[in-house]
Structure 1
Amino acid sequence: MKNASSLEQRLRSNLTGDVFFDAFNRGRYATDASFYQIMPAGVVVPRTIDEALRTLAIARDDGRIVTPRGGGTSQCGQTVNDGIVVDFSKHVNRIVSLDVANRSCVVEPGIVLDDLNRQLKKHGLWFPVDVSTASRATIGGMAGNNSCGGRSLRYGTMRDNTLSMDAALADGTLLHFGEVPRDLTRVNSPESGLKLFRDMLDLGEREAAEIAERFPKVQRRVGGYNLDALVPRNAPNNLAHLLVGSEGTLAFTTQVELKLWPVIRNKVLGVCHFGSFYEAMDAAQHLVKLRPIAVELVDRTMIALGRDIAMFQRIISAAVRGDPDAILVVEFAEEDQADNLARLKQLGELMADLGFGWDKPQRKWGGVVEIVEPALQSGIADFRAAGLNVMMSMKQEGKPVSFVEDCAVPLPHLADYTERLNAVFAKHSTRGTMYAHASEGCLHVRPVLNLKLDKDVKAMRAIAEEAFEMVREYKGSHSGEHGDGLVRSEFHEAMFGTRIVADFREVKQRFDPDNTLNPGKIVDPPKMDDRSLFRYRPDYRVGELKTVLDWSAYPGAGGGFQGAVEMCNNNGACRKLEGGVMCPSYRATRNEKDVTRGRANTLRLAISGQLGPDALASDEMAETLKLCVSCKACRHECPTGVDMAKMKIEVLAARAAKRGLSLRDRLVGYLPRYVDLASRFAPLANLRNHSPLLRALFEKFAGISARRALPAFRRDPFRPDAEALGPPDGREVVLFADTFNRAYERENLDAAIEVLVAGGYRVHLPKPSDSGRPLCCGRTFLSAGLVEQARSELNRLVAAYAPFAARGVPIIGLEPSCLLTLRDELLSLRADETAKNISAHALLFEEFLVREAEAGRLSLPLGPVGAKAMVHGHCHQKSFGAFKPVEKVLRLVPGLDVKTIESSCCGMAGAFGYGAETYQASIEMAELSLLPAVRGADQDTLIVADGTSCRHQIRDGSGRTPLHVASVLAMSLKCAKSSSETISPIKEEAHG
């Protein structure tokens, strides 16, 4: 083989897409959602199909293997190899054509399922192979794995919904794979293609009896090659179905023609409760007789884990009664809602007939919870779809491991199979988690193992052999949804027999004689327990790490930092493009480098020495984290709890200790120390904004973009004379005057005081005991990695606020990033009871008002301020579940129609948006949804944003002047002179 530098040079000169041969980028593609890791020789992100085919040709000429990749969410190691990885997901993702009348479309392989369905929805259509990874799974990857989804009981698998495929063979020959007559008449294909098709049909005819004998008779069979698509009884034969499930080993997909279905318009759910897991599994065969479109299992472990995850707590409390051992979520989705409701009633009757009524004491957790509210249905669907990540959120060294995960057995055997499987787990001193598709006899079963330990690897091997033997006994399939990859391919001979495996090898040889395309999958695989292919190899080590934050909640060495990094299981929930906040930089760039998963992988490789010495403080690591805006969305939205914002602080601290600070870091970090001095000389301090020369100099020497105006210092910053305002006998509160509002927008603090005093509160404004500079949360220091300086600031704050917190006085703040530092980073810097008490009493302004109103303690004379308000939520508000109170408080204003802007991060993110290197990314984030929504609003619509940086981004990008919610309420107070309306306590909203 020619050397890598020569290959890299050829690829770069022939492609416009990204070409990566450095260790950091290759490392980000060395893993998928399996436990394997294989470092590729290089990575190509082509801009077009033509570039992808050129990559194939160049790599083949160089003697390299090629592995196509979509979202990288494969759980069996399908998308890892040591050749060239081709990532289709960034650019090769168009709908090529759409035929609404005939319900079909043609797409490129890199299109994400959710993105496809968003575009189809306006036509009343959808593609129903609804895998749980729909927010990042690509159609090409789904075709490669023969994905199934939760509703395959009604809609079938990927194979059932694939009409045709265009693909290139390893030698570059382009062929159309679709339905053909067995005599191949009128098939438009080159001679080499016709000969290939003839050979495949002949194989199917020759082996028809063996295929009928050895292929499992269950719908959920996705193992091996689909030779049954070739047999005469299936004529006309669809040759695309041979490519479906082939895991990129036969051909390079260029287009996929899909069968579409009408969107589901009405549905209901019945949540069936069971006192034992066995009873739930035994009931599944009876529940499917009501013809639901899905029956999904959630076991006790998943329920318990979900109750500890903030984003799922409300959903579980609404859907789950008591403490069941398992629940089955039964979904009906007929066109007529009355039909669905009738079936829901029948479900309750059937459960009672089976002995699972609420009124039977021995079936304490029996019965059905009926779910008809769409919002709650969506929440339950999200929880079930997050099952894998919920299971992986265990904060321990052992994790649920995928290797016998999706075996499928006929429904009458499901209860016995799962009971015996649990006995196998117990025999090997472990336990398993189970969830997913009870309607198909296909459960996601994961034994809890620590694959860093040789004994657990041996246990995995033994469990696999015993489990697959059971599956064969029940005439099921050892691969029921997630494919073969490196995990299951080894077991095909036991499953299908020597003759069928020889047929698989013949198919591979006929399509790809030089073994160029993703070798080692389905045919001639390595041993599944070959630890040299593992993410945690026998020589995997993480040296002693001196951390600056508290990571004790996580397992492992390095003070728990290692365990926190290793929480990422690569499932890629951070790659979603809509909904929630995570991950804003990835949404703008679509680069694996800029997604939480990519950063976590890089950190893991760095701390384990796989990226060279001092990788944590390297320029490459700084580049990896450059576009992380510390939005904390991953903290809330990643079901495994990867907290990249906190990890970034560790990296910044390591880099600052090793390399010192840049001028920009000093200007940003030490802002609280010089802000008062700058205010005294405000005209001089603000001169930079008015001078093109100074802007240029700031960009050159401090890295602050000349295209941004910095926030203007005020000559009259917030400096209250009194330490308390409002009625002496009023309920006490402490107002935390943060640096940003104090120095730049004091009108927000003035407004908050006006509102609180009007509400009858005694507002304390405590000063530091050292009578020095005003109190600060240390946020700016943390953003520069200056952890000890941040700790010093927080210590001053704790000393000033401790007496108030000790007597239960709420501590109220206006700036989310500052106030919520007291609920987050404070506890990572000091874990004493005083700090915990302050954290427990820290509330955002609107959180406090909502709490008071709900308790009946708030009365404010408010008047109308306008007809409409549009609200953008700060990322940290959303991360801490603190955004809803903003909407609730604004709805107290008479006649105000409040609409939330569905947006991710505003892109300013503190100092991020001012950076010369990050300015463009900042604008791209804002332009995804926030700025277009603001520009589209009427001029008389109030724009509301609580975050200082959010307001600046909106003002810079739209010309509109957004308001803090405190200012809106103060305006409403002023307008109340003509109105005598007084608010009443807020009523709790119904679920959803």
Structure 2
Amino acid sequence: MTTTVQGHVGLDAAAVTEALDRGECGEVAGDAGRRAQYSADASNYRQVPLAVVFPRARQQVLNALSVCRRLGVPVTARGAGTSTSGQAVGPGVVLDFSRYFNRLLALDPQTRTATVQPGIVLDDLQAAAAEHGLLFGADPSTHSRCTLGGMIGNNACGTHSVAWGRTADNVVELEVVTYRGTVVRLGEMTQDEIDEAIAVDDERGRLIASLYRLARRSLATLRTELGTFPRQVSGYALEHLLPERRFNLARALVGSEGTLAVVLSATVRLISPPPARALVVLGFRDACAAADAVPALLGHQLLALEGLDQALTDIVTRPETRAAIDTLPSASAWLFAELGGSEDELPDRARELTKAADECPGFTGGDVITDPVRARRLWRIREDGAGLATRMPDGSEAWPGWEDAAVPPDRLGPYLRRFTGLLDRHGLHGAVYGHFGEGCLHVRIDFDFTTEHGTAVFRAFVTEAAQLVAAHGGSLSGEHGDGQARSELLPLMYGPGVIALFEEFKNIWDPDNGLNPGMIVRPLPVDGNLRVGPHRTPLPLTTVFPFHTDDGDFAKATRRCVGVGKCRTTAPRGDVMCPSYRVTRDEKDSTRGRARLLYEMTQGEVITDGWRSREVRDALDLCLSCKGCSADCPVGVDMATYKSEFLHHHYQGRVRPASHYTMGWLPLLSRPAARMPRLVNALTSSRAAPLVKRLGGIAAEREIPRFAPRTFLSWFRTRAPEGDGHRGPVLLWVDSFNNHFTPDVLKAGVAVLENAGFRVQVPDGTQCCGLTWITTGQLGVARRIARRTIAALAPALGAGVPVVGLEPSCTAALRTDLPELLDGDEDARALARATVTLAELLVHHATDWHPPHIKARSISQTHCHQHATSGFGADSTLLHRMGVDNTVLDAGCCGLAGNFGFERGHYDVSVAAGEQVLLPAVRATAPDTHILADGFSCRTQIAQRTDRTGTHLAQLIADALSNLANGQGTARD
């Protein structure tokens, strides 16, 4: 007899959490903060769970299912939570496998297989396989954070599926457990193995018998209506039950979205990649012309054939990627075709491919990309598509919901034309991209979920889109699964007989409907549980920052986070975000987890006390305010600004942490300290130092930086200018850190600027950008300081004098924070436009100046704020002109990040962040290699955690100029 989980009637989060705690299920959380973090995935949907479980061991997974079964609570298995269809959220218990249940259990290079736990991140598997010259073939764009369990749940495919197949094609064996606790090992089965299993007549045998009977009764349907083309992912993959497919229960379970069983381990197939690859970019008149060309190109043994249109590239703002886009062939849409083989054969094959494209209508030109750096930047556009496409070029929001349909590739062009017409009829817009080589399109659409009419348009559109896909022999889902987004629409694709088979298949595996109910069969409505809806009214929250790009709406700003989870990457790979997540691997410490909590705070349902929320405060505690997310997040979530805004309101009228008074007011406190530096230094290094640190909220493990004997300003105002100043004046921004602690950096800057022909000036009085008050959320004080600074600089700004900053955090504040803080102030905007880094000034404003030639090696640590606001391009150019063999560390954040690494309770995370790349790289660097670090925090972390010291770019150049003047250097040719 079939029973059904009844939605945990009478149970609350506390009762479920207590039962799970007693049941030895691993780490269990049922607090409001955790439940808010797991209330959404990367879809349009929201369901607040009762509890979240983080199992560490196999038995804990079994225990959790046992407790939930006894309580009648449904279970949702979750990996990285990047699902775009709503299948990673549920109303019961969420099992998060990504944090602990994520090990590589075995890797056999001889059989080319690996066995993994479901929470392992794909890139971690790829790194282990790469040591043996192998890789896992399915590689979705979320490879840096998606888990194998999630890929199995959705039958993920990725960029190279045209050559290496879907996840299902690369799964050898699965060990799973049903909601009722039956553990089964699944794979191919011969007839003898089927008969033997059935004869045993245990729970496993009865399960296999039922599945075998279903398959034998339905052979014609399975052969003609399922598995008709590679990207037919919607529904259950019952075609794998056919005898000619060896009754492969493992592959039949792939793509079941956690509705049948929970994966305990998976054995997957690995492949040998080609020795070399080439990227060929092909331009077309429009996306439809690109789609038409696909069939003519598929015969060229491609590894990948990805498409994107200009609507996507128009959204890109990252400077390095923008520069790469500008070199693309002139077109409105492009195909990225990748070839694999030997280096000798690739040029000829690339020419043949381009020739074939040239014969297609609408082709505008091609380019073979040989520079691996440029190729990576171009592929990044495609990888970031799911995030980039969530904002239209005008800044309006776009949503998933119909971003995964697929049709046979030879029908892609006609389908795309009719799909575009459907968008037009409904007055909707979206940027198209996707796996053109397999007929799979991704598009985020500007649905309006905030009104009844907009929600009705959404429902009407997806219904018509489903009918359109079915008419072209396609699949509602090509790799992301059906979830809540498409399950209700499956009868428009499949007939009643197939739907009945799906329901029977579900009932055989999960008669209690305890696993991810509402997905695929007995579906939840496509317009139910919407994260943003006409009946969800945010709290009226007034902000200090204007949030113009989000129409001044803080709730809208927080929902920029659509859940793609790029902040959950565990290795830098050119990105800064999110340093604390890389250390803790805890969702609450990711940019996404924090954004989720802030969004829930604006709704007032789970998080009920608004700006006073302790859950939000605690989640923001380990945010380093590094600003990495503002550049690295595909949708531009700026958690540093959100944190400042929250802290401002949270502590308004209340006593703040001690560190807010000491380090937040450091620029002001440094002034009296500078009058008696010896006394202050003696105190902070004496036996009283522990008490000083404790009273100041400073970590006991941190050494307090020593004040310089003389400030830079004191030195500068008593010296005579050097050089002829023929280029005119430049205003040197005197930041508090270098002025009081490392004045030699500013002195070096003066020497370089004067040598380059500038007349160096400094602001009148003692000015500050207000950064320390901004990061600690003291925005009222920061505004007053910013106004005073702007007033002091106004005359120079009016005269068009450039402002050059040597401390990246302060330079970034002048460029970005002050114009926001002083919204509408024209002088603040003028300051932002006038502010440049030293390298930018020398590269762009002193083009005929010849820097000294330095035959040397260096490694560079890019400051987080520089990474976020200006990048390292000008620095690289300048170092190249100087002849320096420089390597930019792929290090992410140094971990100190201004006040963060000095604050009590942050030391371990601060050091662990630095130990991921930066500090080991510094220790391994040869003694004669320069360690370039412009940031005061970066140099401090290096000095305190290694036996080396960091050098500012200004110091490197100034030392070379000095050596040249003394006859020890090398003149520029």
Q: TM-score, normalised by structure 2?
A: 0.94
Equivalent residue in structure 1 for 2:699, among 685, 702, 705: 705
Which residue matches 1:882?
A: 871
Q: Deviations over 1:378-397 (max 9, x none)?
A: 22211111111111133778
SS in 2 for 1:297: strand
Q: Does 1:455 align with 2:465?
A: no
Which residue matches 1:969?
A: 957
Distance 1:750 1:433 in 2: 50
Equivalent residue in structure 1 for 2:741, among 739, 744, 752: 744
Which residue matches 2:269?
A: 259
Which residue matches 2:238?
A: 227
Q: Does 1:781 align with 2:770?
A: no
- Decide whether the 8 Å contact of 1:868 with 1:942 is kept in 2: yes
Shift of the 722–264 alpha-carbon distance from structure 1 to 2, 3 Å rule, reads farther
- Decide whether the 8 Å contact of 1:300 with 1:326 is kept in 2: yes
Which residue matches 1:547?
A: 543
Q: Does 1:636 align with 2:642?
A: no
Distance 1:749 1:151 in 2: 51
Which residue matches 1:960?
A: 948
SS in 2 for 1:496: coil
Q: Deviations over 1:58-113 (max 9, x none)?
A: 22222211111001000110111011101111111111111112211111111111
Which residue matches 1:202?
A: 213
- Decide whether the 8 Å contact of 1:862 with 1:975 is kept in 2: no
Equivalent residue in structure 2 for 1:538, among 534, 538, 562: 534
- Decide whether the 8 Å contact of 1:798 with 1:835 is kept in 2: yes
- Decide whether the 8 Å contact of 2:851 with 2:882 is kept in 1: no
SS in 2 for 1:327: strand
Q: What residue identity is the alignment partner of 1:873?
A: T
Counting only pairs closer than 5 Å after superposition, residues 174-323 of structure 1 correspond to structure 2 as: 174-184=183-193, 191-215=202-226, 217-234=228-245, 236-306=246-316, 308-321=317-330
Distance 1:449 1:153 in 2: 31
Shift of the 975–396 alpha-carbon distance from structure 1 to 2, 3 Å rule, reads closer
Which residue matches 1:360?
A: none
Equivalent residue in structure 1 for 2:803, among 811, 817, 830: 811
Shift of the 897–445 alpha-carbon distance from structure 1 to 2, 3 Å rule, reads closer
Shift of the 439–891 alpha-carbon distance from structure 1 to 2, 3 Å rule, reads closer
Which residue matches 1:990?
A: none
Q: What residue identity is the alignment partner of 2:565?
A: G
Question: Per-residue deviation at 1:723?
Answer: 8.5
SS in 1 for 2:723: coil
Question: Per-residue deviation at 1:822?
Answer: 0.9
Judge which range, 37-46 or 801-810, deviates more: 801-810
- Decide whether the 8 Å contact of 2:311 with 2:431 is kept in 1: yes
Shift of the 666–257 alpha-carbon distance from structure 1 to 2, 3 Å rule, reads same
Which residue matches 1:353?
A: 359
Shift of the 242–390 alpha-carbon distance from structure 1 to 2, 3 Å rule, reads same
Judge which range, 79-88 or 16-25, deviates more: 16-25
Aligned residues: 955
SS in 2 for 1:97: strand
- Decide whether the 8 Å contact of 2:404 with 2:477 is kept in 1: yes
Q: Deviations over 1:676-710 (max 9, x none)?
A: 211222233234532445414632x4321111111
Distance 2:954 2:58 in 1: 53
Q: Does 1:337 align with 2:343?
A: yes
Q: CA RMSD in A?
A: 2.2
Shift of the 417–753 alpha-carbon distance from structure 1 to 2, 3 Å rule, reads same
Which residue matches 2:756?
A: 759
Q: Does 1:669 align with 2:664?
A: yes
Which residue matches 2:365?
A: 367
Which residue matches 2:158?
A: 149
Which residue matches 2:971?
A: 982
Equivalent residue in structure 2 for 1:716, among 689, 710, 723: 710
Q: TM-score, normalised by structure 1?
A: 0.93
Q: Deviations over 1:945-987 (max 9, x none)?
A: 1111111111111132222222222222232223463336xxx
Distance 1:8 1:185 in 2: 40
Question: Per-residue deviation at 1:725?
Answer: 2.4
Q: Deviations over 1:839-896 (max 9, x none)?
A: 112112232223345x12x2355566xx4322211111111233233344445556x5
Equivalent residue in structure 1 for 2:441, among 443, 447, 453: 443
Shift of the 655–961 alpha-carbon distance from structure 1 to 2, 3 Å rule, reads same
SS in 1 for 2:191: coil
Q: What residue identity is the alignment partner of 2:711?
A: P
Distance 1:888 1:421 in 2: 45
Q: Does 1:940 align with 2:928?
A: yes
Q: Deviations over 1:149-186 (max 9, x none)?
A: 12211111111111111111212222110111123269
Distance 1:109 1:804 in 2: 60
Distance 2:798 2:329 in 1: 37
Equivalent residue in structure 2 for 1:919, among 904, 907, 917: 907
- In structure 2, runs of 5+ residues without a counterpart are 1-7
SS in 2 for 1:956: helix
Question: Per-residue deviation at 1:616?
Answer: 2.1
Q: Does 1:650 align with 2:645?
A: yes
Distance 2:868 2:12 in 1: 47
- In structure 1, runs of 5+ residues without a counterpart are 358-365, 769-773, 985-992
Q: What residue identity is the alignment partner of 2:614?
A: D
Distance 1:336 1:98 in 2: 27
- Decide whether the 8 Å contact of 1:153 with 1:439 is kept in 2: yes
- Decide whether the 8 Å contact of 2:305 with 2:435 is kept in 1: yes
SS in 1 for 2:326: helix
Q: What residue identity is the alignment partner of 1:259?
A: R
Q: Does 1:424 align with 2:422?
A: yes
The percentage of aligned residue pairs carrying the same residue is 35
Q: Does 1:949 align with 2:937?
A: yes
- Decide whether the 8 Å contact of 2:390 with 2:444 is kept in 1: no
- Decide whether the 8 Å contact of 1:754 with 1:970 is kept in 2: yes
Q: Does 1:827 align with 2:819?
A: yes
Question: Per-residue deviation at 1:402?
Answer: 2.3
Q: Deviations over 1:248-287 (max 9, x none)?
A: 1111101111111112432222222222333222221222
- Decide whether the 8 Å contact of 2:391 with 2:398 is kept in 1: no
Shift of the 763–187 alpha-carbon distance from structure 1 to 2, 3 Å rule, reads farther
Q: What residue identity is the alignment partner of 1:249?
A: T
- Decide whether the 8 Å contact of 2:455 with 2:533 is kept in 1: no
Q: Deviations over 1:117-146 (max 9, x none)?
A: 122112111112110111111000000001
- Decide whether the 8 Å contact of 1:874 with 1:905 is kept in 2: yes
Counting only pairs closer than 5 Å after superposition, residues 608-619 of structure 1 correspond to structure 2 as: 608-619=603-614
Q: Does 1:859 align with 2:850?
A: yes
Distance 1:449 1:292 in 2: 35
Judge which range, 49-58 or 118-127, deviates more: 49-58
- Decide whether the 8 Å contact of 1:158 with 1:244 is kept in 2: yes
Distance 2:691 2:56 in 1: 35
SS in 2 for 1:543: coil
Question: Per-residue deviation at 1:628?
Answer: 0.8
Q: What residue identity is the alignment partner of 1:920?
A: D
Which residue matches 1:172?
A: 181
Q: Does 1:327 align with 2:334?
A: yes
Distance 1:247 1:187 in 2: 29
Shift of the 148–859 alpha-carbon distance from structure 1 to 2, 3 Å rule, reads closer
Q: What residue identity is the alignment partner of 2:321?
A: F
- Decide whether the 8 Å contact of 2:933 with 2:950 is kept in 1: yes
Judge which range, 390-399 or 956-965, deviates more: 390-399
Shift of the 355–783 alpha-carbon distance from structure 1 to 2, 3 Å rule, reads closer
Equivalent residue in structure 2 for 1:381, among 379, 382, 406: 379
Shift of the 658–19 alpha-carbon distance from structure 1 to 2, 3 Å rule, reads farther
Which residue matches 1:520?
A: 518
Q: Deviations over 1:529-555 (max 9, x none)?
A: 12xx11023321123322111212223
- Decide whether the 8 Å contact of 1:400 with 1:433 is kept in 2: no
